[in-house]
Amino acid sequence: MADERVERRAATTRQGFSVLLVAIRREPWIFTLSAVGSLLFGALTVADAWVLGWSTDHVVLPAFKNGEIGNGLLVAILALFVGVAILRAIGIVARRLGAGVMQYRMQAHTRRAVTRQYLSLPMEWHQRHPTGQLLSNANSDVEAAWGPIAPLPMAVGTVAMMVIAVVQMFAADLVLAFVGLLVFPLVIAANIVYQRVASPLMTRAQQLRAEVSEVAHESFDGAMVVKTLGREGEETARFAEKAHELRDVNIRAGRIRAAFDPVLAALPSFGVLVVLAVGVDRVMSGATAAGDVVTVAYLLTIVSFPIRSIGWLLGEFPRSVVGYRRVRQVLDATGEMPFGETPAPSGDDPAGAHLVVDHLSYSYVPDQSLLSDVSFEVQPGRTVAIVGATASGKSTLTTLMTRLVDPDGGRILVDGVDLRDLARGELAAAMAVVPQTAFLFDDTVRGNVTLAHDDDATISDDEVWAALRAAQADGFVAALPHGLDTRLGERGTSLSGGQRQRISLARALVRRPRVLILDDATSAVDPEVEARILAALRDGDRGTTLVVVAYRKATIGLADEVVHLEDGRIADRGTHAELLRRSSSYAHLVNAYEQHAEHAGLAGHAGETEMAGDAS
């Protein structure tokens, strides 16, 4: 077991230096600047000891003997001390500036890489990883990974300082140097014990930070569920359990450091006392000079610092290795969605795009097919309604049509072009989706519709108002205190569910997509308003092909064709009236909403929202 711990610690040390090597290779010039500054600081710190010893022998002792000090010697001493102080200050600035710049540049570079990877990975990868964990990867793990960069230049400079100091100690007095260096094994042993005791706690603390982030994000994201079900106490206890565990681990690590720091600071002082005791005896016997004793004693106080600084560097390694490993798991994740080089087709038909779903199949789990051999097409400017019971594959179909994931088999074509052949970003120029759950940003109405910065807006206010009118949202937006400039709050909390859905619809319409997919996107809207929205989309000059996941008879009745899904397969296709006549399962499904509303005595928006939520 002991051999295993030693081997694990050695592996952590090797991996820690490997992480640092990545940073050095990426930022060689900044590292060189900080290392040179640290070397300058180390050399000048040792030079202080020489200046102190020289001053003792040539100024202080003669002054006691003769009772006077020459002005020239005073100027020389002052010049030496000031010169050394200035050069050492320059070294400190270069060391700290270089280390800080290098650390922050590596953090920024890694965060950008992690974010780019998040955007390139498919939705199925994101569904397997909690949001809190992803936030931790991009924040605390990145900071932990590059934590050792801060003490790295200091360690490089202090190693040089220690070598120079030891050489100077032996040059001053061989016996006193050996006596002083006897404290080194004690300092090294104390550092080793500290690392072995503290490293597991630091590693555990880093893991707990991610767990705390996961619990917190879940609680915040599900605040409505927590409050409506009265689970505040349970959620508070769940968060408190992890937070208290993290607190306790950090406190234990702090106690260990608080115990070891005085020991590490006291050992060199003990060595200095021993050197002074032996040195006094040697001075009295004429074996050495007083200046040499002062030089060795002072050098001994500064050679202990390099060992401690190296200990600080090694102490960061466990946390760094854990953080870097978690970041690499994201950067090395497979499943990045490939793209072609074909631009989005402009199409010859101004009515919209020609959409073809050809023998589509998909499964989340092997041998459990969610969609199987699904084929249909939508002519330009036509409207197709996708109807099916819960878990029939409707939402999965919309996910595939917007290429959030790729199918296991078959293909989807827009104007004859396979979605997988389109260049990155081109699909968004031809197709838009409006989900049932509308997400709004903490921004103005204009910002939520255009998703553009005010200084980089490519969509005019006239286009925004036109999209709002088509979505039947212009009335309530005009009544807001500041119109388009009204901030909607986080997730649009200042609006009702139906209003949020209409803003989300306007966001899609303002881009004038050639294919528009509505995944029950008007479930929270009154039937009369929904009918006006769909009529505006069908009868307007927007040139849009519509695919609508729908449950209401009124919505389905507006479609040119209905695709009825059952268990991931197409059970029937035709007009709404045709399917009502020849399919009892379809008739039962589309009548379920009205039957439920009549039985429960519900009407209007509340009933529609509930049933739409059940159906989804």
Give the pair of three-digit tokens for residue 167: 């050489």
The sign of the CA dihedral 291, 294, 297, 298 is negative
- How many whole angstroms from its chain centre is CA 259? 35
213-222 burial, b if ≥16 CB within 10 A, otherwise e? bbbbbbbeee
pLDDT digits (tens, 9 = 90+) for 355-399: 888 888 888 766 667 888 888 888 888 888 888 887 788 888 888
Residue 64 has pLDDT above 70, yes or no: no
Strand partners, 566: 569
- Residues 322 and 252: their CA atoms lie apart, in Å, by 19
3-class SS of residue 327: helix
- pLDDT band at residue 283 using 50, 70 and 90 as cut-offs: confident
> Dihedrals φ, ψ of 542, to 5°?
-80, -15
Taking residues 284-289, report their average pLDDT. Answer: 76
For domain 355-615, the CATH superfamily is P-loop containing nucleotide triphosphate hydrolases (3.40.50.300)
Of 110-114, 132-136, 423-427, 497-501, the least confident: 132-136
What is the residue whose two structure tokens read 């402009």?
346
Task: Mark 175-205 as b/e (b = at least 16 C-beta within 10 Å).
Answer: ebbebbbebbebbeebbeebbeebbbbbbbb
- How sure is the predictor about 455, in pLDDT bands with cuts at 50, 70 and 90? very low
- CATH code at 16-331: 1.20.1560.10
Q: Please give the full DSSP string across 387-441, using - where no structure is assigned.
A: EE-TTSSHHHHHHHHTTSS--SEEEEEETTEEGGGBPTTTHHHHEEEE-SS----
- Residue 542 is predicted with a pLDDT of 59
Contact 410, 458 (CB under 8 A): no
State how far the alpha carbon of 59 is from the alpha carbons of 45, 52, 172, 280, in Å: 21, 10, 18, 19
Check: CB of residue 58 under 8 Å from CB of residue 300. no
Q: Phi and psi for 187 in degrees, rounded to 5?
A: -65, -45
Measured from the Cβ of residue 127, the count of other Cβ atoms closer than 10 Å reads 10
Q: Is 571 helix (H, G, I), strand (E, B) or coil?
A: strand
Q: What is the mean pLDDT of residues 330-342?
A: 76
170-179, 181-190, 522-531, 593-602, range with the lowest pLDDT: 593-602
**Neighbouring C-beta atoms of residue 591, cutoff 10 Å:** 12
Label residue 242 by pLDDT band (50, 70, 90): confident
Mean pLDDT is highest, among 209-218, 302-311, 511-520, 540-549, for 511-520
28 pLDDT higher than 80: yes
Q: 149 with 23: CB under 8 angstroms?
A: yes
* CB atoms closer than 10 angstroms to residue 82: 10
Indicate if the pLDDT at residue 4 is higher than 50: no
**31-45, 180-194, 325-339: the lowest-pLDDT one:** 180-194
Report percent pLDDT > 70 for the chain: 77
Q: pLDDT-derived band of residue 600, with 50, 70 and 90 as boundaries? A: very low
In terms of Cα–Cα distance, which of 298, 417, 294 is closest to 347? 417
Residue 219 to residue 215: CA distance in whole angstroms: 6
Q: Give the residue-averaged pLDDT of 37-57.
A: 71
Query: So what's the pLDDT on residue 556?
Result: 81
By CB neighbour count within 10 A (0-12 exposed, 13-18 middle, 19+ buried), where does 539 fall? Answer: exposed
**Amino acid (one-letter) located at 196:** R
The residue-averaged pLDDT of 182-205 equals: 72
Residue 228 confidence (pLDDT): 66
User: What long-range pairs does 24-27 form, CB within 8 A, spacing at least 24?
Assistant: 26/106, 26/109, 27/102, 27/105, 27/106
Of 292 and 25, more confident: 25
What does pTM read for this prediction?
0.62
Radius of gyration of the chain (CA): 36
Q: Give the CA distances from residue 32 to residues 35, 99, 138, in Å, rounded to whole numbers and listed in that order.
A: 5, 10, 27
H/E stretch holding 572:
strand 569-574
409 strand-pairing partners: 361
What is the reported pLDDT for 1?
A: 47
Looking from the CA of 229 toward its CB, the CA atoms found within 13 Å total 9
Angstrom distance (rounded) from CA 545 to CA 473: 21
Reference 436, options 508, 496, 518; nearest CA is 518
Task: State the Cα–Cα distance between residues 204 and 200, nearest whole angstrom.
Answer: 6
42-58 per-residue burial string, b: 16 or more CB within 10 A, e: under 16 = bbbbbbbbbbbbbbbbe
How many CA atoms lie less than 13 Å away from 45 in the CB half-sphere?
29
Average pLDDT, the chain: 75
What sign results for the dihedral spanned by CA atoms 349, 352, 353, 358?
negative
Question: What token pair was written down for 615?
Answer: 């159906």
Asked if residue 168 has pLDDT above 50, the reply is yes
Residue partners of 552: CB distance under 8 A and separation at least 6: 527, 530, 593, 608
69: CB partners within 8 A, 6+ apart: 59, 62, 63
Q: How large is the average pLDDT for residues 452-460?
A: 60
Q: How far apart are CA 407 and CA 393, in angstroms?
A: 13
Contact 101, 30 (CB under 8 A): yes
Helices 497-509 and 461-470 pack at an angle, to 10 degrees, of: 120
Long-range contacts, stretch 357-360, CB < 8 angstroms, 24+ apart: 357/397, 357/401, 357/410, 357/412, 358/410, 358/411, 358/412, 358/413, 359/409, 359/410, 359/411, 360/397, 360/400, 360/407, 360/409, 360/410, 360/411, 360/412
Instruction: Calculate mean pLDDT across residues 569-598.
Output: 77
Is the pLDDT higher at 493 or at 57? Answer: 493
Q: What was the pLDDT predicted at 63?
A: 66
Identify whether the C-beta of residue 473 lies closer than 8 Å to the C-beta of residue 422: no
pLDDT tens column, 515-571: 888 887 666 666 667 767 776 666 655 568 888 887 777 778 778 888 888 888 888
Query: Residue 297: what pLDDT?
Result: 75
Report the candidate in 311, 348, 346 with the shortest Cα–Cα distance to residue 429.
346
Quick check: helix, strand or coil at residue 566?
strand
What CA–CA distance (Å, rounded) separates 76 from 182?
35
Q: Where are the domains of the chain?
A: 16-331, 355-615
How many CB atoms lie under 10 A from the CB of residue 300? Answer: 27
Which string of DSSP letters, residue by residue, matches 65-118?
HHS---HHHHHHHHHHHHHHHHHHHHHHHHHHHHHHHHHHHHHHHHHHHHHHHH
Tens-digit pLDDT profile for residues 103-126: 888 888 888 988 888 877 777 777
